[in-house]
Structure 1
């Protein structure tokens, strides 16, 4: 009988520890529970009679005897929570549900009630949401945005571990959901890039066939789509934009935001005049730190974005445009600050206009001639046949 009492004390102590842990997760006042927990801890220092309530006549019914532990009544109404919590206590998704905004609202609603009432009501709501989430996950009806809310930031193995906790014995659906999420995530990224590209097409009035990219913007709000609702034809179109990163998107965003600069460059310079203009800006800058910094910014930005800057006057379809984008993205990999430099150069447009207006045609022609000589010229020195001294400069014109 004494062993029964010791075993019962140990069980209630563990159950009480679990309920206190749940209360701490929910940030509920568990001081009364902790007070009882302290009483039944370190039983070797206490007499069993201090911890058990012995009913009269218990000695004659030892087989049926179930000890009643001091403070046991404080958790009696929450014992059914314990098995589920012990199974899911390491499940990050369940813990998110247990502490989400809806749970906080329920906790606030019952703030003047007992610890037991608060925990039970929050738990019932969380458990209901968890079961609904499990059913939606197994069926594939879970929305992309809901999946991402709970699983974003996890790697594939972490996702698989949580999904296994959602399944019973059938785990055949798990890899399917992971692949569906991966596909929808790709479609989301491609959709963002597609919207941005079509904005460039509209802003700069590009002429050509952009229908493959346009189709990606007609999928609606992807976050509302269920994982099982993937349109395979759209997934095929995604291959056109596969591999576009957030950095690539930022690169295009800077190009849109710098429209005043891009428009000015197209209206005032030809592609082969860009380097000459940068040289003129370098001469105009002199040795002033601010002006030198502006020139360096101008040089980096225009050189990096040149493939896109001077495409605006030519017929251009999605294939050609993406080819030019890849050239610019490669430059951005080398210089991560390229989008910022383009924006900064756009902010310096008035200074650039002043450089242009202060430059005469003689300077432009001289620099172009020097550039042509440097690129295409060669010298013939001496006269091998006539033995006469001769120096001759020959260069090809574009």
Structure 2
């Protein structure tokens, strides 16, 4: 079509007559549209919708523009499209950054951010707006390298201090630690901020300095474990992947080293608590075995320790408590606090242990009748004592930490299967007087009889027939009830 246009417009348009009027009209309209878009592309008045259309057909449009406007080169049009695209992209980035500013300033009711909100509203329907509404269009002839060009944005009429802050604020806002510091500072100075410049001075500057200083101390290892746990540990718990991402957002290097130190410190802290619990256990139950290693571990706790001062060698001492988790430590503490119940069980069932427990449970069930609450108490007793049985019945006064931990390993298995084990022991200890009354009511004779029945059922021989007792040799092995 446009090759025909060239032909008919050559030689002072002598060949125009070969086309019908309708064709000439269509050509003239097309030429006018192309010429208009080239002019708007050059001065920046082109809508972003049209710019996107030209960019999608960049080569075709550049060729048409070169045909229609001989004074314009193909490369010039293509370069102009790329230049305007870069300017629009720069605005979209700034708009995203301004959105962060608006979000973080919501609690400042005295700060007017309508000028920001109005432009962000435009950005939602950006395609119907022109490029020059958001930036000062650059002349493509004055730009050598488009990729190096920094567009001059003009959409947001804000003080330069605010404009300089916004890109950094957007980057820093990816850090949850920064957001926490920002929110704390906002609460502190909310009444004193009446402009965005005040936000820069009273919030942004001190918060940025605080985060930068914290990042430097984490990087150098000068930060104490206590503060590290307060700032990051509580937020992410054991999710070290998210913690690593947070430290990366804070521009910290040697992240792996710091996280490794934190893991070991946490393990050490757990071991220290475990060692203290074991020492408390030993004292409560008058164990006089070897607990020297536990005493060494218990002295290692230091919340004021700097991360760079952490000594890996101390972890070797903790190898004895490698299986001691917080839940298991709490399980052991519960056992210590339920000392009245434990001593009563050891005293009242010292001969047969679990066998006597089973008999007592049967008697207690009989006493409970059909009362649901009492039946639940007995079931709770049975579950709790069975789970803690190794510590209740197998622990000796001469036991040291090795024997104690060996017995604990059996309890841990029960705990893994029944996480409610400590709560059940607490409830049973709470109902200790009720169980004592049950024990007293049935007496030792009844307990002994039931135990004998249990023995007969387990090991006895039932013989049916005539003259079964005539054999005198068998009389000596009879159990008479």
Fold agreement, TM-score > 0.5: yes
CA distance in 2, matches of 1:282, 1:40: 74
In structure 2, the gaps of 5 or more residues are: 1-41, 47-83, 144-150
Tell me the residue number matched to 2:256. 175
Indicate if the aligned counterparts of 1:382 and 1:388 stay in contact, CA closer than 8 A.
no
- Bigger Rg, structure 1 or 2: 2
Give 1:291 deviation, angstroms.
2.4
CA offsets 1:245-270 (integer angstroms, 9 cap, x no match):
23212322321232221122233331
Tell me the residue number matched to 1:261. 341
Give 1:321 deviation, angstroms.
0.9
Matches for 1:58-137 after TM superposition, within 5 Å: 69=154, 71-72=156-157, 74-99=158-183, 101=184, 103-108=185-190, 110-111=192-193, 113-137=194-218
CA distance in 2, matches of 1:245, 1:68: 57
Indicate if the aligned counterparts of 1:373 and 1:395 stay in contact, CA closer than 8 A.
no
Choose 350-359 or 199-208, whichever is displaced more: 199-208
| TM-score normalised by the chain length of structure 1 | 0.80
Tell me the residue number matched to 1:328. 411
Where 1:240 maps in the other structure, the secondary structure is: helix
Matches for 1:318-357 after TM superposition, within 5 Å: 318-357=401-440
Aligned: 1:23 with 2:106: no
CA offsets 1:266-319 (integer angstroms, 9 cap, x no match):
333315133332233233333332322222111111111111123555311111
Give 1:33 deviation, angstroms.
2.6
Give 1:191 deviation, angstroms.
1.9
Indicate if the aligned counterparts of 2:272 and 2:301 stay in contact, CA closer than 8 A.
no
CA distance in 2, matches of 1:210, 1:81: 59
Q: Specify which structure has the bigger relative contact order, considering alpha-carbon pairs within 8 angstroms and separated by 6 or more residues.
A: 1
Aligned: 1:317 with 2:400: yes
CA offsets 1:90-115 (integer angstroms, 9 cap, x no match):
3334333333x2x234432524x213
CA offsets 1:196-227 (integer angstroms, 9 cap, x no match):
222222222222222212222212343x2222
Aligned: 1:215 with 2:256: no
Which among 235, 255, 270 is matched to residue 350 of structure 2?
A: 270
CA distance in 1, matches of 2:346, 2:220: 54
CA distance in 2, matches of 1:322, 1:237: 15
Cα distance change on mapping 1:109 and 1:395 into 2, 3 Å: farther
Tell me the residue number matched to 1:290. 373
CA distance in 2, matches of 1:202, 1:130: 46
Indicate if the aligned counterparts of 1:212 and 1:237 stay in contact, CA closer than 8 A.
yes
| TM-score normalised by the chain length of structure 2 | 0.67
Aligned: 1:360 with 2:443: yes
Tell me the residue number matched to 2:322. 242
In structure 1, the gaps of 5 or more residues are: 54-58
CA distance in 2, matches of 1:199, 1:192: 10
CA distance in 1, matches of 2:283, 2:105: 51
Aligned length, in residue pairs: 378
Tell me the residue number matched to 1:204. 285
